[in-house]
Each structure stands twice: as C-alpha cells, then as structure tokens.
Amino acid sequence: MLADKTIAAMFARLRANDPAPTTELRYQSPFELLIAVMLSAQATDVSVNLATQKLYPIANTPQGMLNLGLKKLKVHIQTIGLYNTKAANIRKTCRLLLDRHGGTVPRTYSQLIALPGVGRKTANVMLNTAFGQPTIAVDTHVFRVSNRTQIAPGKTVLEVEQGLLKSVPAEYQQHAHHWLILLGRHTCVARKPKCRQCLLNDLCPAAVITTTTHGAR
C-alpha cells in the first residue's frame, strides 16, 4: 500500500481536476437512480441511459413500474444484459418499496440490501450518490484502480472497500468513489492504461513500472 501522504496527494489532484464528480447515470430521484444502478450491473452507463430515457417518462415510481407490467418493462430494458432477471427483481423491489417503505427508497444499508437485486455495490452507490453518505462503492473500475495504484490493494471487493475506507483521507471520501470510477473508465483502463494522460502518473507505482520496463504509454 502507498504511503498516506502519497494517497492524499493523489486525491488532492483528483479533486483539483474535478471538484464535484458524479455518476454518469441519468436520474432525477433516488428511485430513478436505484433502478438505473440495478440495470447497470454488467452493462454500460450509456446503454442504461438509452433505456431509461424512454422508460422513465412512462414509469418512474414504484407503482408506475408495477402498473407498466412485466412484459412492457422487459421491452424497455431488453437491450441490457440479464434483462429478464433484472425486470423480475425491479418488480419485486417496487413491491417491497410500497409495502415496507411507503414507496420511498430507504436510507440505510441493511434496508437497501434487503431489496431484490440490490447488493453491496448498489447499496453503497445509493448511500453515497443519492443520500450524501461517505461510502465507497467498489465496482470493476474501482477494484482495478485501487489494486493497480496500490491505494487499497485487495483480493476481494470487500477487502478493497475496507482498505479504501481506511486509506482515503476523510475529506476525500465523499467523492472518492466517483473519482476512481472515472479514472478507471477513461484513463486507467483494463488494457493499455493511458499512463501518459494520467494525472497520477508520477505517483502511481504501476505507471513507473510501465515506463521503465515497456516505455511510457
């Protein structure tokens, strides 16, 4: 793991470059964000946005989603991977939101993960992005960047999440999730990371290795 001062320097640069990062998913309410995040599993934000921009004008509440019906819901999300399972989970979640939470999205981790189709990552995204809590959701991008940079190395998602909560200074935790996602999505990509373009290339041990053994990218 990197030294604390190096990690702090990394996040200081990320904040200076993008003071208020946010999700690339489009939403106008916690419920819309919840559905979008559920749909985004093994799918791109672009594909989710294309689907929800047609879905939400028709159904953007739990009751509206149930009124839409399973078949029509599937039609709207059929371009997204695992749409059959996601459609079923969305309807089950909408029913629980109505029965247990008065149609609103709950604000606690335990209540969120009790919803069908909502796992640890989705719950943390909701807590952070919808409700402003300093949680750090770990998706494939955050997992890769955390290990590659050595900010919070770990073999499992939970290890990386716990490592980030320990290593990321408190003043940066609110936005750390989005900074790391955006870095992984656009610069620190899985294949051929764009080290030359990276704000952190002089602080990242992976960039140093790349430069000295294979030439800078």
In the chain, what are the domain boundaries?
A: 4-21+136-214, 30-130
Whether residue 216 is predicted with pLDDT greater than 50 in this model: the reply is no
In this structure, the number of other CB atoms found within 10 A of the CB of residue 18 comes to 15
- From the options 1.10.10.10, 1.10.1040.10, 1.10.1670.10, 1.10.357.10, give the CATH code of 4-21+136-214: 1.10.1670.10
121 is catalytic: yes
C-alpha dihedral sign at 208, 183, 139, 176: positive
Architecture of the 30-130 domain: Orthogonal Bundle (1.10)
Q: What is the pLDDT of residue 1?
A: 78
Instruction: State the pLDDT confidence band at 207, using cuts at 50, 70 and 90.
Output: confident
pLDDT in tens, 86-99: 999 999 999 999 99
45 is catalytic: no
Q: What is the pLDDT of residue 214?
A: 45
Mean pLDDT of 154-165: 97
Whether residue 160 is predicted with pLDDT greater than 80 in this model: the reply is yes
Which among 54, 71, 121, 192 is annotated as catalytic? 121
pTM (two decimals): 0.89
Which among 5, 74, 139, 202 is annotated as catalytic? 139
